[in-house]
Structure 1
Amino acid sequence: MAKSEQQKQKKLAKQKAKEQRKKKELARQQQMMASMAGKMRAAATGTIKDCMISGNLLMQNPTTPAIGHVMLSRIAPGSQIATAFFLVDLGCMGVKDVAGNYRTLTEYSDVITDMQSRQMLQPCEPEFARGVVEAAIAYAESCGLQPHPDYSKYAPLWHNIEPASVGDAISFGMDGKPTYIAGPYDDMGRQTQIYNRMLNTLGEGNFEFAMATSGAQNFDDFELDEEIELDEESSIVRLDSAE
């Protein structure tokens, strides 16, 4: 085979190999974007757009366990906005729920405008936001409780954000004790499971627990203005107290 023909074949082989690598990378990206965890990983190195926190989480010595939201957003592939909302319960549950998705810039702007008009969230540093979330998780773990199982899907959005020490900026539990107050839709099975875990970890008399008798709570995407309150018709059973 002539030298020029050999060079031509080598060039064609290199082009074919390059095309195959591109196809594999495209397939990898498509597979990644098929799951929420993959979407958040894909956006993990994007520029941070906004970070906000509910003022409820910053109240000192609250009369009821503090619960509120932490939001982080980044620029995602395709010029979309990747957003994660963490429902944080400082009473004992840590990250009680989590939601988020990709949004167009227009959709995202509408959501932020709506939230700000109702003064639901206030801007904060990403390092502080992560510090609050991780401190809440650590407190929950000390009570025998784990963060919501979907937390790991959204956690990649914290990439390269070092958690700041929150110090005395937030208050855990109520009156010095871990405190659980059931939401109106927490079913009895879930409440019983939480109670048993806290009892086994903390011991009788070392936590507060108010059990409701109705429903199961769903944290729907971006429906973040609803406070976690007990239904007026729910009956509350005090299972453990400070006495």
Structure 2
Amino acid sequence: MTVSTRDEELLARVREMRERGSAPKQIAKALGLRPAQATALVRRVAEAALANVAPDERPVVGCWVNAGWSAGLDLAEAPGWAAADPLGQEPDPDAGGFAQILLARQERASRVTVTGFLVDVCCLGVKNVTDPEVMGSGSLTTYASMYYSAFDHRPLPIDVEQAQTIVHDAVAYARGLGFEPADGFADAVVHLGAPPGDRPVIGFGRDGKPFYFSGPYDNPRRVVQILERTCGPGNYDYVAHL
């Protein structure tokens, strides 16, 4: 698309006025534009600014995790996270084991990028990722409802720093046991970003030991063999159909 010299000058003026905090109506009046013209120029300025921002530095529109994600984990260093997940504090040995995280970041004025991570917090780390997908902002609520439709409780809103800590530290825990994250993790984690340096330590596993519960697409025999080699007999638990 060809941009005229006048358009470039207008965009520059709009950019300067937005940086000073001017609203679209003020910009329209100052530059002799119709309100719709000013709004369109403001949108173009915002989109151009976002295009030069790394995916993990774009504004967070929403971030969630399933209720009960913390069941069985040691969150002594993160009492606030534990208190925000009352379902995870219930004495149910069958609960927990997975943290399903959904993150939405601003893509441009009316678009967001969503990325999902299914995290086995007891053993395997990131088991699955939802490839980054761009959608209209108005579709986010419906998408999030579908993403968590398998759960009986509504997801919990969390800070992106908590999501970064869960995902990255679960991956590190799983790697220590001999397991790599799922295919596509490298592309998805670009949108998540690195965790803060000053963060609480999560005690992964269950009762202080790795706990493997086999899924429908796992190779349980291979997983148990790896745990036997990396942890040693009696230093892990599992429930699997071998």
TM-score norm. by structure 1 comes to: 0.60
Tell me how many residue pairs correspond in the alignment. 170
Question: Aligned ranges for residues 44-123 of structure 1 at < 5 Å?
Answer: 44-60=56-72, 63-64=93-94, 66-77=97-108, 79-100=110-131, 101-112=133-144, 115=148, 119-123=153-157
Q: Give identity over the alignment, percent.
A: 23
Q: State the 1:86 CA deviation.
A: 0.8
Work out which of the residue numbers 148, 156, 169 in structure 2 matches 1:135.
169
Gap runs ≥5 in structure 1: 1-40, 213-236, 238-243
Q: Return closer, same or farther for 1:118/1:200 CA change in 2, 3 Å cut-off.
A: closer
Q: Distance in 1 between matches of 2:231 and 2:183?
A: 22
Q: Distance in 2 between matches of 1:134 and 1:119?
A: 25
**Does the 8 Å contact 1:129/1:163 carry over to 2?**
no
The answer to whether residue 236 in structure 2 is matched with residue 207 in structure 1 is yes
Q: State the 1:205 CA deviation.
A: 2.1
Which deviations, in whole Å up to 9, do the C-alpha atoms of 1:180-203 show, x marking residues without a partner? 1111x225xx22222222222112
Q: Distance in 2 between matches of 1:59 and 1:43?
A: 31
Q: Return closer, same or farther for 1:160/1:152 CA change in 2, 3 Å cut-off.
A: closer
Which deviations, in whole Å up to 9, do the C-alpha atoms of 1:29-64 show, x marking residues without a partner? xxxxxxxxxxxx964332111111222222346614
Q: Return closer, same or farther for 1:202/1:161 CA change in 2, 3 Å cut-off.
A: closer
Question: Aligned ranges for residues 154-193 of structure 1 at < 5 Å?
Answer: 154-159=188-193, 162=196, 165-167=199-201, 170-183=202-215, 185-187=216-218, 190-193=219-222
**Does the 8 Å contact 1:43/1:82 carry over to 2?**
no
Tell me the amino acid that sits aligned with residue 103 of structure 2: L
Q: Distance in 2 between matches of 1:46 and 1:120?
A: 26
Gap runs ≥5 in structure 2: 1-52, 74-91
- Runs of 4+ in structure 1 deviating by more than 3 angstroms, as ranges, are 41-45, 112-120
Q: Return closer, same or farther for 1:172/1:144 CA change in 2, 3 Å cut-off.
A: same
Q: State the 1:67 CA deviation.
A: 1.0
Matched residue SS, 2:189: helix
Matched residue SS, 1:172: coil
Q: State the 1:69 CA deviation.
A: 0.8
Q: Distance in 2 between matches of 1:79 and 1:160?
A: 26
Matched residue SS, 2:63: strand
Question: What RMSD in Å do the two structures reach over aligned CA positions?
Answer: 3.0
Q: State the 1:206 CA deviation.
A: 1.4
Q: Distance in 2 between matches of 1:163 and 1:149?
A: 26
Q: State the 1:149 CA deviation.
A: 2.2
